[in-house]
Chains A and B, each alone.
Chain A
């Protein structure tokens, strides 16, 4: 394994120690341990992992699935790339533990098309695990436990990171999110109970099983236990992947990466929030500023309206077009940004667009449209002086 350091995921662990403990504890014991740890989904939505597993375990069905969401498409996120390239065994072990806990025999890694170059490496890791009796029939000599993992390639669609869209895509459809309920834990892939978890969530679980829920809870805050992988990019001296405790302040994080003179930080990618300098004492945790791990640092010279424009262009492109608030709303916001750029947007019109943003947050069908106005709203709120009343410059 690579030489990275961190409190949980990058800490030392014996290969298969987590899986062995899980098999010793039994199914209910494994789920209880994960639930006690307070682990929440690391993709950003923060649903308690133990609860999800328990729902899938108690759902009725002969066939169940464990799906790993490796459709890492949020701008500024690349931690899953690092985990899959350097810690693939840990991720697959986590999936195997989940398979054991919920009673699934089949695991699927949904790998984004952009990471196709990782596929042969991952197939190699899977083959080695099969050879060592860690995948396949009767895992680690346990007669009643069969589990195997296949890799499924995505084809370039951000919205497929949404779990029901991902399932639609696995079934060979357009990646359009489904109405919920029913939730995937009862009716997911091919109508069977399925759990969909982020790559990082699976990478954490072997550590929790091997070292205990209390060890895990010792890191982080009461409501956001454990650590988080941060993908840091932008105007800082040391971009890269960092594992730091939950509840760290923005200022502390910037110190780690050499971005102290930042003007603002985008936390949670394009769908996240922009935190201005005056709020750098805020903490990164589910109860304050949540994140899937994306940290983009903006230096003093950055034009924040250009940043907002880049994000909105992204959403206009990536909206699946299924529901109206998202399909039309994102285009309207982008138009408003262009008006602001040219300095011909009245405050009254701007307020109307802000109203529209609120509507999108409530009325969109999935997380994409519900969160796409976040960046625009927070940038407008904090950088009004810089944005309003621009004099049009012909470029």
Chain B
């Protein structure tokens, strides 16, 4: 990690701790903010947060590893979580899973080498009446078909590359 990156992280965490009054009870919102911006909670971040809240870094580590939406390893820009629970399973999640693997070229639990996509299983998303369902970051997609999967992934891919800025302005 570059010293300048580290300083940026340190500054962000200091601001977050300040915002929540260095109160240990706000550990989760702080971790969620770090996860969102840095796509993981690194060892350095855990140490900084622990210092800011006056607790042991192991406590931070134990919380990070407990929750499915927090991770110590870097995740992709887009985290795709496909629901594997019974109703989505019966609605045909296996075909969706296969198509996701084919489109992304990775298996479940993996991140693409360019760091853009992470593919994961998740438990019930609460979309059981409209399965199969998956989340892409915070957005939920329902009644998926293999073709729809391709369209969603293509849409995500458009957010990268040199043409992104013009495209964004055109919208």
Interface residues of A, Cβ cutoff 8 Å to B: 72-78, 80-81, 112-117, 152-158, 169-175, 190, 231-235, 239-241, 266, 270, 296, 298, 302, 307, 310-311, 313-314, 317-318, 320
Contact = CB atoms under 8 A, between A and B. Distances in A.
29 contacts: A75-B86, A75-B87, A75-B123, A77-B124, A78-B126, A80-B126, A114-B140, A116-B138, A117-B140, A153-B29, A155-B31, A155-B67, A156-B122, A172-B26, A172-B63, A173-B27, A173-B63, A174-B62, A174-B63, A232-B129, A233-B128, A234-B128, A239-B129, A240-B129, A270-B85, A314-B85, A317-B123, A318-B123, A320-B66
Given A75-B128, A117-B140, A174-B66, 17 more contacts: A73-B123, A73-B126, A74-B124, A76-B87, A77-B128, A113-B67, A152-B29, A153-B29, A156-B67, A156-B122, A170-B25, A171-B24, A172-B24, A240-B129, A302-B90, A307-B86, A311-B86
A73 B124 contact: yes
Contacts of A112: 126
A78 B123 contact: no
Interface string B52-73: 0000000000110011111000
A87 to B, nearest CB: 16
B126 A153 contact: no
Contacts, number: 118
Q: How large, as a class, is the contact surface on chain B?
A: 35 or more
B126 A72 contact: yes
B165 interface: no
Contact of B32 (A74, A115, A153): A153
A320 B62 CA distance: 12
B149 interface: no
Contacts of B170: none
A155 B28 contact: yes
A376 B141 CA distance: 31
A97 B158 CA distance: 48
